């Protein structure tokens, strides 16, 4: 046994934590007594109380996360390595170190060039990498995205890309929102369907960012709710719950993040309205079909040559509807971006409206003036989100 390998490993760990080169650490080959425990994944997490090490314990059928200070975390790792776990793999931006400890306590250290060059992947670096780990994920397997070997099913590659793109977007919004650094938050996914994005949202906040997030999916179809609740239970996602219900009937309760992807027609308006009502700091929607505005459009003389073609009118109606939604969100105090979510090659429903609540003052009148002008230009009499916000007495148009 090369004497001191264990100490060299922990010296390297502590240096990487102190020097900001720590990326992640994985414990494997469990030989302790805790039923079902397989791995521990340790990552840095930037929380309001300061930097922490987020320990994700992966059991056969569930995950559990706990955050520790760097000092506590390093102490805990010293206890776990060798006693409970035979293998520890440290990734820093300078080297990969693997420590193997035999049952007799003999330690053997190997070092390699770094495979991950981004140290302490919080913020921007974290956003750039794929946030959802497909391989070991029980929910992706149960939802049919991966097979029993943890490999992505050929037909589900696009779905996984969509899930990862969604998580990247939410990560960016979270970092630029008043929620950043909070230790707890609540999120609501309305029209959650089979729950791909609801699970990913939960997994990202709780297991990647180390934020305790209570996530609720609301879905009209009871069979999907039952399926998703079963998967959540088996994944050990204790703060994730699915409820049967309609978006428009949901009682208003405080929510930090509201998402609604591909909710049909004006269900997107109901969802945005629910987000504004519940004071959400982040509202993310990807509208589905648009039926309300198209029959109302009266082609302005300059656009007659364009809008006489049904296909182009359809597109114009979509753009105008989403622009009206964006302006209403701006008037309600949000910074709004409308952009392509996933490439059109994967789906036609690819526009995303992402809104983050402003912390300071904003020019409500300017947004409302643009809203009125746009409606007038196209001869639009009414739009669902507008009526919902007006009914709420927020403003008159």
Binding site for ligand SAM (CB under 6 A): 191-193, 196-197, 218-221, 224, 246-248, 261-264, 267
Rama region for 36: left / alpha / beta (φ>0; ψ in -120 to 50; rest): left
Residue 20 vs 157, nearer CB to ligand SAM: 157
First to last CA, the chain: 79
Residue whose pair of structure tokens reads 């004071």 in the numeric block: 279
Judged by CB, which is closer to ligand SAM: 34, or 345? 345
CA distances from 335 to 103, 237, 322, 356, 394 (A): 57, 32, 14, 5, 18
Closest separation in Å from C-beta 318 to ligand SAM: 16
Of 267 and 385, the one with the shorter C-beta distance to ligand SAM is 267
Q: Which is nearer to ligand SAM, 247 or 353 (CB)?
A: 247
Secondary structure string (H, E, C) spanning 124-189 = HHHHHCCCCCCCCCHHHHHCCCECCCCCECHHHHHHHHHHHHHHHHHHHHHHCCCCCCCCEEEEEE
Minimum distance, C-beta of residue 216 to ligand SAM, in the bound complex (Å)? 12
* Shortest Å, Cβ 265 to ligand SAM: 9
State which residue has the least CB distance to ligand SAM: 193
Report in angstroms how near the CB of residue 244 gets to ligand SAM at its nearest. 9
Least gap, CB of 224 to ligand SAM (angstroms)? 6
| 336, two tokens | 């709004």
Measure Cα distances from 180 to 37, 171, 173, 175, 242 in Å: 31, 10, 9, 5, 25
Which of 49/251 has CB closer to ligand SAM? 251
């Amino acid at each position: 046994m090369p004497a001191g390998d264990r100490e060299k490993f922990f010296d390297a760990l502590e240096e990487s934590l102190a020097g900001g080169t720590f990326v992640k650490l994985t414990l494997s080959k469990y030989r302790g007594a805790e039923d079902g425990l397989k791995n521990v994944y340790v990552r840095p997490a930037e929380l309001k109380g300061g930097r922490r090490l987020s320990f994700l314990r992966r059991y056969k059928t569930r995950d559990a996360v706990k955050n520790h200070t760097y000092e506590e975390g390093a102490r805990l790792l010293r206890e776990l390595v060798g006693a409970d776990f035979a293998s520890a793999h440290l990734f820093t931006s300078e080297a990969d170190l693997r420590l193997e400890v035999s049952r007799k306590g003999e330690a053997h250290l190997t070092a390699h060039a770094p495979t991950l060059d981004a140290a302490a992947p919080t913020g921007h670096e974290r956003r750039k990498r794929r946030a959802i780990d497909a391989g070991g994920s029980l929910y992706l397997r149960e939802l049919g995205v991966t097979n029993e070997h943890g490999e992505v099913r050929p037909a589900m590659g696009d779905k996984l890309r969509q899930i990862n793109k969604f998580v990247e977007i939410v990560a960016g919004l979270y970092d630029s929102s008043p929620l950043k650094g909070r230790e707890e938050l609540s999120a609501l996914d309305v029209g959650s369907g089979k729950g791909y994005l609801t699970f990913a949202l939960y997994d990202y906040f709780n297991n990647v960012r180390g934020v305790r997030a209570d996530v609720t999916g609301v879905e009209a179809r009871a069979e999907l709710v039952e399926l998703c609740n079963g998967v959540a239970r088996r994944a050990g996602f204790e703060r994730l719950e699915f409820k049967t219900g309609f978006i428009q009937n949901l009682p208003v309760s405080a929510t930090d993040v509201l998402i609604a992807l591909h909710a049909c027609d004006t269900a997107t308006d109901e969802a945005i309205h629910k987000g504004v009502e519940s004071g959400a700091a982040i509202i993310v929607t990807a509208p589905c079909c648009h039926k309300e505005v198209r029959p109302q459009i009266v082609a302005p003389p300059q656009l007659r040559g364009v809008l006489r073609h049904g296909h182009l009118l359809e597109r114009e109606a979509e753009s105008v509807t989403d622009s009206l939604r964006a302006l209403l969100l701006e008037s309600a105090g949000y910074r709004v971006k409308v952009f392509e979510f996933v490439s059109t090659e994967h789906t036609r429903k690819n526009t995303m409206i992402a809104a983050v609540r402003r912390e300071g003052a904003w020019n409500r009148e300017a947004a409302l003036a643009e809203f009125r002008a746009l409606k007038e230009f196209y001869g639009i009499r009414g739009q669902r989100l507008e009526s919902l916000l007006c009914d709420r007495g927020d403003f008159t148009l």
